[in-house]
Amino acid sequence: MKENYIVCNCMQVSYFSILDALEGHNKFEDLLSLFDAVQAATHCSTGCGGCHDKVMQIISEAMMG
Ligand code: FES
């Protein structure tokens, strides 16, 4: 069981919200469009941008499974 935590402090976006935003997407989409979709849904990474790498990392891990 994975634990939820805040990934983007500026926008208070949690790990689970990012996973939710990836629902309906598939691993054949490229990482940048997936990132755009997650960003549009959650507004993550629209503040300081410091969470960008973490968000990318979560997306790639979620899509590898
Ligand atoms: S921590 Fe996500 S934009 Fe600042």
**Cα–ligand 1 centroid distance for 7 (angstroms):** 8
Atom of ligand 1 nearest to the CA of 46: 3
- Is 0.85 topped by the overall pTM? yes
The closest of 11, 9, 2 to 62, measured between CA atoms, is 2
Atom of ligand 1 nearest to the CA of 45: 3
The domain spans of the chain are: 6-64
Cα separation, 62 vs 18, whole angstroms:
10
Q: Tell me which residues have their CB closer than 6 angstroms to ligand 1.
A: 8-11, 44-51
Fold of 6-64: Arc Repressor Mutant, subunit A (1.10.10)
In tens digits, the chain (65 residues) has pLDDT values of 789 999 999 999 999 999 999 999 998 899 999 999 999 999 999 999 999 999 999 999 999 86
The alpha carbon of residue 38 and the mean position of all alpha carbons in its chain are separated, in whole angstroms, by: 5
